[in-house]
Structure 1
């Protein structure tokens, strides 16, 4: 698995989406914004989108790992 240096805005989007999901308040627009940002980051870095998404979720949900 690749090591990532996610930009603050991408981390903030995922944190907000994760918090909303935990409160059963995640909207389709919010989820789509995260996916678009993940896709853009993956394209910019040349990394597989699924690896970027998994790394981002890990960074937000398990920051001490």
Structure 2
């Protein structure tokens, strides 16, 4: 799979969501903000939304593997 050049603000939104998920405190506002930004980025980049979402999760949740 090709590497996607995610904007910093999208990565930060996903990091916030991931931190909240791990703490059991994900808010509707955070989840909605992430989904809206993923959808917008996918449209801007001409990519499938699911591809963007999965790539973003990989970058944020597996950053210790060298991504991000």
Structure 2 length normalisation: TM-score?
0.90
In structure 1, C-alpha distance between the alignment counterparts of 2:40 and 2:2, rounded to whole Å: 17
Tell me the number of residue pairs that the alignment of Structure 1 and Structure 2 aligns: 65
Structure 1 length normalisation: TM-score?
0.94
| Structure 2: runs of 5+ lacking an equivalent | none
| Structure 1: runs of 5+ lacking an equivalent | none
Query: Could you list the runs of 4 or more consecutive aligned residues of structure 1 that deviate by over 2 angstroms after TM superposition?
Result: none
The answer to which structure, 1 or 2, has the higher relative contact order (CA under 8 A, 6+ apart) is: 1
